[in-house]
Amino acid sequence: HTYPTPWRAGNLCFTPLPENKKFIEIRTRRGDLITKFDYSGRTFCLDENTVKSLMVPGVYRFRAGNAGKTKDLLIIY
């Protein structure tokens, strides 16, 4: 899950994340990889400046690891 949903400002956080995975992928709606972040623990947060520098407003997909289903993420600012 991500919060806040939809994201507008502040930190963008992903939780609960599986402890057996090492990174989180963020992809475009078409499935193109935007970025991959290493994480540890069950929660990972991005600061507002990082989110705005990587993503324009729109629909994205994310997942922990590089296999499995992706989940929707909506960016609005």
For residues 4 and 41, which has the higher predicted lDDT (pLDDT)?
41
For residues 38 and 77, which has the higher predicted lDDT (pLDDT)?
38
CA–CA separation, 38 vs 63, rounded Å?
12
Reduce the DSSP state of residue 30 to 3 states and report it. Answer: coil
10-47 pLDDT, tens digit per residue, is 999 999 999 999 999 999 999 999 999 999 999 999 99
Q: What global pTM score does this model have?
A: 0.86
Q: What pLDDT score was predicted for residue 1?
A: 81
**CB-side neighbour CA atoms (13 Å) of 36:** 9
- The average pLDDT across 48-57 equals 95
